[in-house]
Amino acid sequence: MELKPFLRNLPAFEAYNDQYTDALVAALEVEDCPDGFVFVHQGGYGGAMFIILEGSVGIIRRDRPNETDYDVRDLREGEIFGLLSLVDDMPAAATCVAHGPVKIAALTQDGFHSLFQSAPPICHQLQFMIAVQLARDLQEQNEFLRRHMVQ
């Protein structure tokens, strides 16, 4: 699989020129992961953002009051997860596990920081995506608190 055309077909990266796309490709590390591979545990620190190139990744959240795990959703080819790992010391909101063999492209924190030099517009896009993820997580937490508020 050629990474550059794959990225150019993703809505998050389709508008960028070759210079910026090439910089992103250079910053990514492609890896094959086996079934059951845990990318990050909820509350832990992931160290990388991932783009799914092939396969499926399950997102699992643990409900703290009753310590029950529940499946949030399955992510497929082209989807991105682990965005919050690009923010220093930001714990993961969920556990991410490979469902079957998975090929991913990983962007580490170091890669993200160096990407600012060669492709600032892509980094700005990733920062926007991080902000959206944080807003969604906050909305979800607020809704959870409303449902479980003791009157």
pLDDT in tens, the chain (151 residues): 799 999 999 999 999 999 999 999 999 999 999 999 999 999 888 889 999 999 999 999 887 666 776 777 899 999 999 988 888 777 888 899 999 999 999 999 999 999 999 999 999 999 999 899 888 888 887 887 888 775 5
Provide the token pair at 127.
């920062």
Interhelix angle 109-118/18-27, nearest 10 degrees: 160
pTM for this entry: 0.87
Give helix 120-148 / helix 18-27 axis angle, nearest 10°. Answer: 60
- Give the whole-angstrom CA distance, residue 69 versus residue 72: 9
